[in-house]
Amino acid sequence: MFKKVLVHTRRGIKITILFLIAAFLIVGAIAFLYKPTYSVFIEGEQVGYTEDRTKLQHRINDYIEKGEGDNQNVAFVQLPNLPDYKLCLLKKDIVANDDEIFNQIKQEGTTYYRYYAIADNQEEKLYVSSFEEAEGVVNHLKEKNSSNINQISILEKYETEMKELVTSQEAISKLYIESPKVVTVAKKSKTNKYAATGSVNTSSHTSSAKANLGISLIKPVSGIITSRFGAGSSMRRSSHTGLDIATSTGTSIKAAASGTVTFSGYKGSYGNMIVISHGNGLQTYYAHCSKLYVSAGTNVSQGQTIAAVGSTGNSTGPHLHLEVRVNGVAYNPQNYVY
């Protein structure tokens, strides 16, 4: 009886050893021919294989959070579908395709950008990269006492397309609006002649050359040119020292450039006249006005209303007589405006 038990035990041990050897050989063959990997699926469709799903998923998560490249304005990337992974055995000669999988996922992504709009009276005017830049622009406008500061606001924007961004200095320059200046009104007499303040040169010395003014002039009024520089007339003893632009009485006359008023008042044949000095000997004259809004000594900005069109002095109808003088010599205004 004991011998039978011993025989059966030995036989069982041999079978177990043979089974273990076979299992070891099978596992070894599988390990030699195959490798554990992950099938990657998007919406149930297999798109490839990855040996390290953690690494691939980390790459995808980074893309969602930061996008690609160094664009600091990327807020996030929206992906419609994320991949699923299933463990499988893959022949060792088959290569994983992480890059292809990532690129396919990336093609479906929608990038959202974050930037900041600076609005004036709720209308978006321009855009900057960060909130700190936008806040700095607003603070500078406050320091400069911009007249629109109470209407300026900052809006955080998330869009799929980037707007054109500007620098802080560009934003300040474009948004700043100078506060209205207190205008000193010239005194008017009962005869529609304004009392003169300051001094003026009314010589008839002219030049046909084109002087370099060093600044740009704008049109003081819009209208029809009725008498050009150098033209002769029975109404004057010398050739025309300026340019006549006809328009309706009361039309606002703008300063052609910023400067200081050096004469304001009635001056003989010129009628009511304003003279502005712009530095370096350059002056502009505005004659035959019906109203004068500034007195001598007043600083004016380019485009500021200084007078109104009229027909005072030696004039046959409402118009502006404009002169451009350098060191007292009159030059053709049409070389610079009109």
DSSP string, 203-262: ---EE-S----SS----S---EEEE-TT---TT-SS---SEEEE--TT-EEE-SS-EEEE
Q: What is residue 91's predicted lDDT score, i.e. its pLDDT?
A: 73
pLDDT at 69: 77
- The pair of structure tokens assigned to 175 is 């948004």
Residue 310 per-residue DSSP state: B
pLDDT at 182: 53
What integer pLDDT is reported at residue 168 of this predicted model?
Answer: 92
Residue 49: predicted pLDDT: 93
The pLDDT assigned to 186 comes to 61
Across the 338 residues of the chain, what is the mean pLDDT of every consecutive 10-residue run?
A: 63 72 64 77 92 92 87 89 88 83 90 93 92 93 89 91 92 84 57 86 90 94 92 68 95 96 94 96 96 94 95 92 95 95
Residue with tokens 């009392």: 195
- The pLDDT of residue 7: 58
* Local structure of 335: helix, strand or coil: helix
> How far, CA to CA in Å, does 335 sit from each of 175, 226, 242, 283?
32, 17, 11, 15
Q: What is the CA radius of gyration of the chain?
A: 43
Long-range contacts of 44-47 (CB under 8 A, 24+ apart): 47/83, 47/100, 47/101, 47/104
Instruction: Please report the pLDDT score of residue 279 as a whole number.
Output: 93
- Rounded CA separation 217/251 (Å): 19
Nearest to 154 by CA among 174, 192, 128: 128
Provide the pLDDT for residue 209: 92
Q: What integer pLDDT is reported at residue 8 of this predicted model?
A: 62
* 3-state SS, residue 155: strand
* pTM for this model (two decimals): 0.48
